[in-house]
A and B are shown apart, each in its own frame.
Chain A
Amino acid sequence: DIVMTQSPDSLAVSLGERATINCKSSQSVLYSSNSKNYLAWYQKKPGQPPKLLIYSASTRESGVPDRFSGSGSGTDFTLTISSLQAEDVAVYYCQQYYSSLHSFGQGTRLEIK
């Protein structure tokens, strides 16, 4: 099974500042036949289902603000929020979908400093 590990577990950032969340997979999630990284990022707010933000490590889902960006390849990935807004307070999860067993990271709680 692929184990996903996020860092940090929690993060406090001032409004308008950059937030960076890291995710590491226990094995590569780069699919060699199409050179795509099978890595997604989700935003989870209380009382709401998870919202897909980023897939293929760096492709924003339709309607997601461009302050959200993803990067990385192979086993190491990053979610960056370029200018934190109040509505971005949430828990963020990475997920690999390389394997049929779509494992998640443990989550990173993002708060306003």
Chain B
Amino acid sequence: QVQLVESGGGVVQPGRSLRLSCAASGFTFNSYSMHWVRQAPGEGLEWVAVISYDGDNAFYADSVQGRFIISRDNSKNTFYLEMNSLRVEDTALYYCARGAVGATGGEPNDYWGRGTLVTVSS
């Protein structure tokens, strides 16, 4: 069965960096685009970033553009979110989610992990 498991969350000071990982299993990972979505405490869902199936294309929300980098290692069935210059407002539960086959759009996020919590605080 499809499984997505996030890791790497924790408490970090403003301005520092953190890398999240999402380990995938139960499907042909290298055929799917993959997404990060976050939910700040008491807030709604916010889409963060997507990476294409082959890693050649990535897109970001304006709120993280230039600070976050999404990447993947298809040999390890894992993708990542490198978060730099972290801000207090980046505090959230970060979910990884499966996207479309062969494209970065065109299909909803059908499978989700349970999330990893990132807290940015001095």
Q: How large is the interface on B (under 10, 10 to 19, 20 to 34, 35 or more residues)?
A: 20 to 34
What residue of chain B has the Cβ atom nearest to residue A95's Cβ? B108
B residues engaging A (CB < 8 A)? 35, 37, 44-47, 50, 57, 59-62, 95, 97, 99-100, 104-110, 112-115
What residue of chain A has the Cβ atom nearest to residue B107's Cβ? A97
Counting CB contacts under 8 A, is A60 at the interface? no
The interface residues of chain A lying within 8 Å CB-to-CB of B45 are 42, 44, 50, 93, 95, 104, 107
Counting CB contacts under 8 A, is A40 at the interface? yes
Q: A44-B45, A51-B112, A99-B105 are known contacts; what are 20 more A-B pairs with Cβ within 8 Å? A: A31-B106, A50-B95, A50-B97, A50-B112, A52-B110, A55-B108, A55-B110, A91-B44, A95-B109, A97-B109, A100-B57, A100-B105, A102-B35, A102-B105, A102-B109, A104-B46, A104-B47, A105-B44, A106-B44, A107-B45
Looking at the assembled complex, report how far the CB atom of A98 sits from the nearest CB atom of chain B, in whole angstroms.
Answer: 6
What residue of chain A has the Cβ atom nearest to residue B59's Cβ? A100
Counting CB contacts under 8 A, is A103 at the interface? yes
A residues engaging B (CB < 8 A)? 1, 31, 38, 40, 42, 44, 48-52, 55, 61, 91, 93, 95, 97-107
A-B contact pairs, 19 of them (CB 8 A): A1-B62, A44-B45, A50-B45, A55-B107, A55-B110, A95-B45, A95-B47, A95-B108, A97-B100, A97-B106, A98-B106, A100-B50, A101-B47, A101-B50, A101-B61, A102-B35, A102-B99, A104-B37, A104-B46
Contact: B105 with A40, CB < 8 Å?
no
Interface of A, helix, strand, loop or mixed by DSSP: loop
A49 contact from B44, B46, B99, B112, Cβ within 8 A: B112
Contact: A97 with B108, CB < 8 Å?
yes
The interface residues of chain A lying within 8 Å CB-to-CB of B104 are 100
What residue of chain A has the Cβ atom nearest to residue B52's Cβ? A100
The interface residues of chain B lying within 8 Å CB-to-CB of A91 are 44
Contact: A102 with B106, CB < 8 Å?
no
Looking at the assembled complex, report how far the CB atom of A64 sits from the nearest CB atom of chain B, in whole angstroms.
Answer: 12
With contacts A49-B95, A49-B115, A50-B95 taken as known, whether A40 is within 8 angstroms of B46 at the C-beta atoms is: no
